[in-house]
Structure 1
Amino acid sequence: RTPISNLKTHTEVVLSQERKIESYQDNLYANLDDLNKISRIIDDMLFLAKSDNGLIIPKQENIELNALVCKLVEYYEVLAEELKIQFKVAGHGHVLGDMLMLSRAISNLLSNALRYTPPHNVISIIIATEPGFVTLSVKNPGETISPEHLDHLFDRFYRADPARRDGDPSNAGLGLAITRSIISAHNGEIWCTSNENVTAFHTSFPQVVSQPG
């Protein structure tokens, strides 16, 4: 069932009998939450449609990846503590790109790692500068992804494990597709490796020399 059909069914059930004002209010708030999630899905699909037509043009800002990652990690720190998961950030590197877009892409990778990392483990974010390019990898312990799924992880609506389709409209399987679109718009690459219960998403960007000030 689609998120819209779920919302329609829920509304029909609410209207099927008279209820107290408070009950209507509670159900309207629940519907509003679902509508916000559906709205985000539509926004994501519009972003991907623009990407398909070459309409995503990143700003050209000199970005220090360690500082950006640390800021994003700080945002996820409360959730990580609840899940008994820690972050470890290492390395430095400068890239030329759009701060908001890259924040969204890396945030998707961190969120994905948190979703599939068992408690009492560490998510590692490793930044490295190589001749001509900069890499950023997000590694997390967890169930190994089968090789036949790796090439499809960035496909829209794809799920390596169908059992993880929990019906949550916000978990529509678009995050990694958007991440790939953003990385590609920055002339970068992204790929995934998974073996011995460690999964890593690797990204590579053209290197930019840091400018003073």
Structure 2
Amino acid sequence: MATIYTAETNPTKKEFVTSWLDNQFWGGSGDPELIGTYRFDDTSGEVGFEGFVLKRGDTILHLPVTYRAAPLDGADDYLITKMNHSVLGDRWAYDAMADPVGIHMLNQALAGEIHQAELHFYNEDGQYLGSEDSDISIYIRGELPDSWGTVSVHHVLDHLDLDGGEYRRLVGRWEDASATLFELTPTPETPTDSNPIIAE
């Protein structure tokens, strides 16, 4: 369950997402239009995970973000912003792919151990307002590999409506479109005399 406050942040999410995208080679240009978001739960309750799917120009982009109550050591280059949350105070937002807790959540999701979080809303005084479904629905596709491997992210979603693929993956669906958001790339086999990578 994701606890979401109807609170103000400074900078706003649109401001810091836009600023981060402006500095990424894949980030496109122009005013971003939010398609939707999804969330995962940290089982320890310490780190928030929110994924943004948005349109910028003619391109659909995907940005996964983690939120922390304190800076993440060694991750200065992946700090998206330090912001003030009107309920939670200072928060540090990071590129989720550089956050070990974010990667752990993705591994759990790919293994089928956790699902996307239910969204439960509260006002700034802590009063419960109700729940809503996410704009983006997350599904698992593909078989688990024999050896686990590495989680990779798709930032540019240029193959909409195609759920195909060889690897285990997390597919996001919204309205009448879908795309692979993350996939698990198996660890390459170590070459041996009996199993060379390139056969002679």
Identify the TM-score tier after normalising by the shorter chain.
under 0.3
Rg bigger for which structure? 1
Structure 1 length normalisation: TM-score? Answer: 0.25
Higher relative contact order (CA 8 A, sep 6+): 1
| Structure-2-length-normalised TM-score | 0.26
Where is the helix percentage greater, Structure 1 or Structure 2? 1
